[in-house]
Amino acid sequence: MSPAAIELLGFTAATLTSLCWLPQAWRTIRTRDTRAISLWTQGLFAAGTALWLSYGIQILSWPVIAANSLTLLLVLVIITMKLRFG
């Protein structure tokens, strides 16, 4: 596989895995219903995502940086809503 194809594969995977959080974040913002959301799970996931982001920055991998930046942003929105309305 060419380097360009590998990058495209990474960006495609990053897009799919990051955008899967968008419906949850949108629903949480819209309804303010956070009863079914585990703060511990979201917190641990956010910490892991922050570590992946740091790793992506260290190795200068744009798919890893993009995916984890977007995912971390969406998860932090969900955590903020959980703390505010939970």
Query: For position 32, which CATH number holds?
Result: 1.20.1280.290
The mean per-residue pLDDT over the stretch 58-62 comes to: 94
Residues 86/34, Cβ–Cβ less than 8 Å: yes
Longest dimension (CA), the chain: 48
Count how many domains the chain has. Answer: 1
pLDDT per position as a tens digit, 21-57: 899 999 999 999 999 999 999 999 999 999 999 999 9
Q: Quote the pTM value.
A: 0.86
Q: Return the axis-axis angle of helices 22-31 and 62-85, rounded to nearest 10°.
A: 20
Per-residue model confidence (pLDDT) at position 86: 80
State how far the Cα of 67 lies from the Cα of 52, in Å rounded to an integer: 9
Per-residue model confidence (pLDDT) at position 36: 92
For 10-71, list the strands marked E by DSSP. Answer: none
Closest CA to 67 of 81, 80, 48, 82: 48
For residue 58, the enclosing domain spans 3-85
